[in-house]
């Protein structure tokens, strides 16, 4: 995530993030849990691993789920939004796993470029990046830091919002289901759409992954506009 993209995740939005995210994404916790399960299935049960977590700020749900499943994993958590990273660190401390997590305020490009990681997770980031170039760049930055054949979980919204009016209406109904009045529903939807530019299709997601040096993507979770995929770093450098 760029600094411009991160700017909307200020202290106010960080403070309401946990509750709002679970309304916005039906299956929020399941997505994080399945991400851990997929990585473990690729890496092997009970083996040590160093995992890069990109856009780690917020609930830290992906880190907590993975750390619970695999006690021998350690994590480097990167996020350019300090309020969101602070929130993640508080949740990590509450889960008593702070000794296994290194929090880095900044971008993936700020990390050493050597392939030091056994796996990576990036949840809820790609659709906040403007244009294909920024999306390609962050995936390439991740690929550079992964060992050959290392797995990546990437999750986020895809498909142009305006192209799916029924999904948009159902998405708004998530807020109504949780007691929001019409004005609040519209406000929440506007905030979700602010600066969002998801890949236009699953084929576009795959093209971005292939272009950045990943292969064999498979979708393992879906909820309205949201998708989650597992891919593998190619064995040869790109």
- pLDDT, tens only, 63-92: 999 999 999 999 999 999 999 999 999 999
pLDDT (tens digit, 9 = 90+) per residue, 147-192?
A: 999 999 999 999 999 899 999 999 999 999 999 999 999 998 888 8
N residues, the chain? 238
pLDDT above 80 (res 2): no
Of 138, 142, 156, nearest in space to 192 by CA: 156
pLDDT (tens digit, 9 = 90+) per residue, 44-69?
A: 999 999 999 999 988 999 999 999 99
Beta bridge partners, 228, equal 155, 221
What pLDDT is stored for residue 199 in this prediction? 96
What pLDDT is stored for residue 236 in this prediction? 64
Residue 165 token pair: 């009016």
What pLDDT is stored for residue 20 in this prediction? 82
What pLDDT is stored for residue 238 in this prediction? 46
Q: What is the DSSP string of 146-215?
A: BPTT-EEEEEEE-S-GGG-HHHHHHHHHHHHHTT--HHHHHHHHHHHHTT----SSHHHHHHHHHHHTEE
User: What is the mean predicted confidence (pLDDT) over 17-32?
Assistant: 89
pLDDT above 60 (res 234): yes
What pLDDT is stored for residue 78 in this prediction? 97
Cα 182 to Cα 96: distance, rounded to the nearest angstrom: 40
**Per-residue pLDDT band at 196 (split at 50, 70, 90):** confident
What pLDDT is stored for residue 113 in this prediction? 92
Beta bridge partners, 121, equal 53, 153
User: What is the mean predicted confidence (pLDDT) over 117-129?
Assistant: 96
pLDDT above 80 (res 11): no
Q: Strand order of the sheet with strand 214-223?
A: 101-105, 73-79, 49-54, 119-123, 151-157, 226-233, 214-223
Cα 226 to Cα 238: distance, rounded to the nearest angstrom: 28
The Cβ of residue 190 has, within 10 Å, a number of other Cβ atoms equal to: 9
- Do 199 and 217 touch, CB atoms closer than 8 A? no
> Which domains occur in the chain, in start order?
3-160+199-233 (3.40.50.150)
Percentage, residues of the chain above pLDDT 90: 82
pLDDT above 70 (res 15): no
Is residue 218 within a helix (H) or strand (E), and if so which, with residue range? Answer: strand 214-223
Is residue 141 within a helix (H) or strand (E), and if so which, with residue range? Answer: helix 131-144
């Amino acid at each position: 995530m760029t600094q411009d993209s991160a700017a909307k995740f200020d202290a106010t939005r960080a403070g309401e993030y946990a509750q709002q995210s679970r309304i916005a994404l039906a299956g929020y916790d399941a997505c994080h849990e399945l991400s851990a399960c997929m990585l473990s299935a690729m890496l092997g049960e009970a083996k040590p691993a160093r995992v890069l977590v990109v856009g780690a700020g917020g609930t830290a749900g992906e880190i907590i789920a993975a750390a619970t499943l695999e006690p021998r994993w350690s994590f480097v958590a990167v996020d350019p939004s300090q309020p969101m990273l602070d929130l993640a660190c508080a949740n990590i401390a509450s889960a008593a796993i702070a000794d296994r997590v290194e929090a880095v305020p900044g971008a993936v490009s700020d990390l050493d470029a050597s392939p030091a990681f056994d796996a990576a997770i990036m949840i809820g980031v790609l659709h906040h990046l403007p244009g294909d170039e920024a999306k390609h760049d962050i995936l390439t930055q991740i690929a550079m830091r992964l060992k050959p054949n290392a797995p990546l979980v990437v999750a986020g919204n895809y498909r142009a919002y305006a192209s799916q009016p029924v999904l948009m209406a159902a998405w708004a109904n998530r807020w109504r289901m949780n007691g929001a009045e019409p004005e609040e529903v519209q406000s929440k939807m506007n905030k979700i759409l602010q600066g969002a530019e998801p890949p236009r299709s699953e084929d576009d997601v795959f093209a971005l992954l292939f272009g950045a040096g990943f292969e064999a993507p498979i979708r393992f979770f879906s909820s309205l506009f949201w998708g989650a995929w597992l891919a593998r770093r190619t064995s040869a450098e790109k």
